[in-house]
Amino acid sequence: MPILAKTFLFLGSVGMLLAVALGAFGAHALKKTLAPDLMAVYETAVNYHVYHALGLLAVGLLALHIPESALLRWAGILLAVGVLLFSGSLYTLSLSGIRWLGAITPLGGIAFLIAWLLLVIAVVRAD
């Protein structure tokens, strides 16, 4: 298996494992302790975590067909960075209540947007 495919399949799988674990933790342990507005923030973090971990799996699968694509590599990197910045900042904000962490969230959103654009270009350019 090409290293690019293996890397992003691994990251996507670990990402999904963590997203499910964090989602269950939120549903069972935090639901009664977090204020409703912070619970909504936590749920947003979990949702975007799931969507973009699935995106990492898609990058890994596409890398089986176009293993030398720099666009695909950067799409995967930016998806992973986006999860860390976007979901990570929202998880931390919801658990700590530190509102300035929300300023980091848009950087993750930008990483997501660029990643999806690069994925589109990689697919269009593929043979």
pLDDT score recorded for residue 16: 98
Backbone angles phi, psi at 99, to 5 degrees: -70, -30
Q: Which structural domain, as residue segments, surrounds residue 56? A: 3-125
**What domain count does the chain have?**
1
* Mean pLDDT per 10-residue segment, the chain (127 residues): 96 98 95 93 97 98 94 98 98 92 95 98 94
Pick left, alpha or beta for residue 126 (phi over 0 → left; psi -120 to 50 → alpha; otherwise beta). Answer: beta
pLDDT score recorded for residue 2: 93
pTM for the whole structure? 0.94
pLDDT score recorded for residue 17: 98
